Amino acid sequence: MIRKYSYILMMVIGLLGLTTTSCEDSDDFNYLISKYYLKADTSVEIGGDYGSTAELNISSDCEWTISSNVSWLNLSATSGNGDAVITLTVNTANSSGDKDTATLTVTMKDDTQIKQSVTVTRTAGESTISVSPQTFSFSCVGGTQEFTITCNDSWEISGATSWLTLSATSGKGNGTIELTAANYEDKDNDRHATLTVKNTTTQGTKEIEVTQTKYAPTLTVTQSEFNFTADGGSAQFVLACSDAWEIVGIPDNAWFTISPSSATKGGSVPVTIEVTPNTTANSRSCILVAQHSVDSSLDKVITINQEAPGYALTLVTPSDGKIEFPATGGQEDITIEATHEPVVALSSEEWFTCELISGPVSNLYTYRVSAPANTTQNNKTVSISFSLAGASSQSVRVDVEQKATDQYLNVGNEEQYIFEELGGQATVSVAAYALWNATTDASWIHLDVTTSQLTFTVDTNTDTSPRDAEITVYVVENPEKSVTFKVHQYEGTRPVISIGLVSVEKNSITVYYHFDSVQPVDDAGINISTDPDFATNVWGTQFVHNDGFTKFDTEYEFTDLEAGQTYYIVGYAVNAVDGYTSNVLTVTTGGSIPNEDDNNPPSVD
């Protein structure tokens, strides 16, 4: 069955072929009967300024080519195979003031009768030009500076002189131009030049003013110190001088070269330093002087440094760079990996010994540190430095500490510290020959430990009872060695406030109110609200105002209330320390008295 349908399809294709030979050729008909597919955008719009771009989309399953009838349009590709996006770029601005068009023809490579035209419409361009900066000043030595041109078309520069040269005098689009001034020896007058940068399409121009100052003795270098690795290498700096100059101090058989090392007239020149590999065991340096032929006060010092070859130094053990001995003393080893035997340097207090016991073994050097028993009440410390001769930057250090024979601890001279109810702060001096710390059994005491003192802060006592606590200072390595002292604080300042329900009627509520305070109360009363958060609709009564009471009891009836409404009632008291509130009663008018617990509520903040 499949073969049958294939045969029929071939017959149809053959008949179409016969029909084709007897018909007049047409692009559309060829497009339909071709065994390939080719289609492109029929129109594209592009800007008129130089550098404007647009895209042409081609959809195809065959090879194709593109031709153009204008020179002002560049194509990113003029041939291809299959689908493609071609970037169109304007290479010349449209300065005519009106839009214009170009025609592109996309043609099938294997069947040139299959083609499609594309109309590209270019808008009117706006040809511009700008220059930055537009003023330059050179010293008599001369030198090189640069400026930028921003242009959407072709440009050219005029006005260059024999003493002022340009890296380019024409171009298209944006560009950066180097401006080089020669040495100037006139001692009387500055000299000037004017450059004109012109847009060749619109004839628009920008001017650049250049001034070179008259002769004045000068000598400058862009870099005066150079550091090289043992492998050597090269470096360059610019020497600018108004007159003849010379670099002196280059030794015979020098391990470096300088070119040029002198000049017979002024100017700005690049100077190159070439350094050979260092095959000695030490680092090396050379100090040179760039001499001005007229004024020696302008001379410049140039320093060349080179590292020693192959120097490396690493601390293997102890990895953290620390050794700790007990008071009884002992021995510990230090292992160094180094390309040469290290130089050992000890600090001034030499209560121990440090000696090389092996090495080099695979570039490893082992040193043994021995400490005798410490019979003093002071901890001992010392530092050991290991370095390489000729490479001072290669060094490591080990810090050694030995504990005191007795963990001495002395804490102040008070056995008890007493605080008022508002709290406060106290400082206790601590003398110890060991690491110490402190702890307390009270959350209302806060400790701050420094090297030689303990500062503790006591919070305000808000309870109505006094309170006591202990602080213990102890040696970290031996907690049994400790000193404990007591802290006592008087009763707090928070008044005891309570309210309870006495009776509730249809339109009234009667409550009792009580407070008991160590501190005199300046303001006290009851607030009532229909808002449980007391944010709105709050009113009430004030019992105490600047009366200095410490105790107060009363009953109070709220009248003219709405029947069946739920009310929230709270007692308050204010003293010199803070304001405080009681529990909150929730009562609905017209209801019954709550249970006994509600009638005798606890005091809460």
Domain final position from 454, 489, 524: 489
176 and 262 share a domain? Answer: no
Backbone angles phi, psi at 421, to 5 degrees: -65, -25
Contact between 222 and 272 under an 8 Å Cβ cutoff? The reply is no
pLDDT at 109: 86
Q: 11 in a domain, yes or no?
A: no
Q: 14 in a domain, yes or no?
A: no
**pLDDT tens per residue, range 405-463:** 766 678 887 788 998 777 889 999 988 767 889 999 999 999 999 888 999 999 988 77
**pLDDT tens per residue, range 236-268:** 999 999 999 999 998 888 899 999 999 998 888
Tell me the C-alpha distance between 346 and 369, whole Å. 12
pLDDT at 395: 82
Region 147-174 average pLDDT: 90
417's enclosing H/E stretch is strand 416-419
User: Taking 90 as the threshold, does the pLDDT of residue 274 lie above it?
Assistant: yes
Query: Where residue 167 sits, what CATH number does that domain have?
Result: 2.60.40.10
Contact between 359 and 365 under an 8 Å Cβ cutoff? The reply is yes
Q: What angle do CA 253, 303, 261 make, to 5 degrees?
A: 55
C-alpha 186 chain-centroid distance: 52
CB neighbourhood size of 526 (10 A): 22
Number of domains in the chain: 6
Q: 102 in a domain, yes or no?
A: yes
pLDDT at 591: 60
The distance in angstroms from the start CA to the end CA of the chain is 96
- Write out the DSSP string of 258-313: EES-EESS-EEEEEEEEE----SSS-EEEEEEEEESS-GGG-EEEEEEEPPTT--E
Q: 25 in a domain, yes or no?
A: no
List Cβ neighbours of 450 (8 Å cut-off, separation of 6 or more): none
Contact between 525 and 539 under an 8 Å Cβ cutoff? The reply is no
- Write out the DSSP string of 5-55: HHHHHHHHHHHHHHHHHTS---HHHHHHHSSS-EEE-SEEEE-SSTT-EEE
Tell me the C-alpha distance between 259 and 104, whole Å. 58
Contact between 281 and 264 under an 8 Å Cβ cutoff? The reply is no
pLDDT at 25: 42
**Which residues, in sequence order, are bridge partners of residue 46?**
122
383 and 332 share a domain? Answer: yes
HEC assignment per residue over 106-139: EEECCCCCCEEEEEEEECCCCCCEEEECCEEEEC
Q: Which residue has the higher pLDDT, 492 or 281?
A: 492
pLDDT at 503: 94
**pLDDT tens per residue, range 303-313:** 999 987 777 78
Identity of the amino acid at 395: S
Q: Which residue has the higher pLDDT, 284 or 4?
A: 284
pLDDT at 282: 74
Q: 589 in a domain, yes or no?
A: yes
pLDDT at 393: 65
**Which residues, in sequence order, are bridge partners of residue 515?**
497, 552
Domain final position from 402, 433, 448: 402
Tell me the C-alpha distance between 598 and 398, whole Å. 73
416 and 433 share a domain? Answer: yes
Q: 20 in a domain, yes or no?
A: no
289 and 347 share a domain? Answer: no
Region 13-41 average pLDDT: 52
Tell me the C-alpha distance between 480 and 474, whole Å. 7
300 and 341 share a domain? Answer: no
Q: 27 in a domain, yes or no?
A: no
Domain final position from 147, 180, 212: 212
Range of the domain at 581: 496-599
Tokens of 336: 């160094």
75 and 157 share a domain? Answer: no
Q: 41 in a domain, yes or no?
A: yes
514 and 552 share a domain? Answer: yes
pLDDT at 337: 87
In the chain, count H helices and then E strands: 3, 48
List Cβ neighbours of 176 (8 Å cut-off, separation of 6 or more): 146, 147, 148, 149
pTM (predicted TM-score): 0.35
Instruction: State percent of the chain over pLDDT 90.
Output: 46
Tell me the C-alpha distance between 599 and 290, whole Å. 102
User: Taking 90 as the threshold, does the pLDDT of residue 585 lie above it?
Assistant: yes
104 and 171 share a domain? Answer: no
Nearest to 598 by CA among 586, 580, 582: 586
The DSSP output letter for 596 is H
